[in-house]
Structures are given as C-alpha cells and as structure tokens.
Amino acid sequence: MPVKPTSSENEQDFIGRCMSEEKDSFPDQAQRYAVCKSKWDVENMSKISDTSAKVMAKIAYNEKFRGINLTNLGENSDACWEGYIQVGTKMLDGREVPDCRGPIED
C-alpha cells in the first residue's frame, strides 16, 4: 500500500515513517529519502488552490527531483499498467519515465 502523509503528521514525522515503511521497496537509503520527500511535496502541492502558485510549485518539484529515480522497479511497482512490469527507466520528451514491458501472462 502506498505511503501517504496523514493530516496529523509534520514533515519530519512523515519522512521517518516513510523511510521505515519503504525500506523493502527502496533498499537504497538516498533513493528512499528522495521518494519519501517527493511524496511529502506532492501532498503539499495538492493543497495549493492558486493556479499560478501550483504551476510554480510543480516547476520547482520537477527541478528538485530531476534525474532521480522515484519509481520502484519490478512486479510491485505501481508505475506501470496492470499486467506490465517496470524494467528500468527511459527518456521521453526530455524526462525520465518508467520503462514498462509486457503484457506479463500468468
């Protein structure tokens, strides 16, 4: 189940919980921290109601996490459609995106 911030958590509490819960999905500590920090930032961006502020926050988010793999590889990855598996990442229109292969048959 994806880890999401709760309304009662501050950033430090959420990052600590996320780092613990995502340990199996993201064994590399630096990548795990980036994933947890990005989840915190996405949750805060969703609360912005002003359109121009939301656009600026999205631009800042993209710059902050440029070149960092925020996806989990393998069968448990939720980056791909059902029946597909992520085998890495690829560049698409200048952005790094999941490389999904499939369909995988049972």
**pLDDT at residue 78, as a whole number:** 64
C-alpha–C-alpha distance, residues 33 and 35, integer Å? 5
For residues 52-70, average pLDDT: 85
16 has a pLDDT exceeding 90: yes
Phi, psi of 86 (to 5 degrees): -85, 125
For the segment 49-78, the average pLDDT, to the nearest whole number, is 78
Helix 11-21 and helix 29-45: axis angle, to 10°? 130
pLDDT value at residue 1: 56
- What is the C-alpha separation between 42 and 39, in angstroms, rounded? 5
Q: How does residue 100 score in pLDDT terms, banded at 50, 70 and 90? A: confident
pLDDT at 68: 75
> pLDDT band for position 11 (50/70/90)?
very high
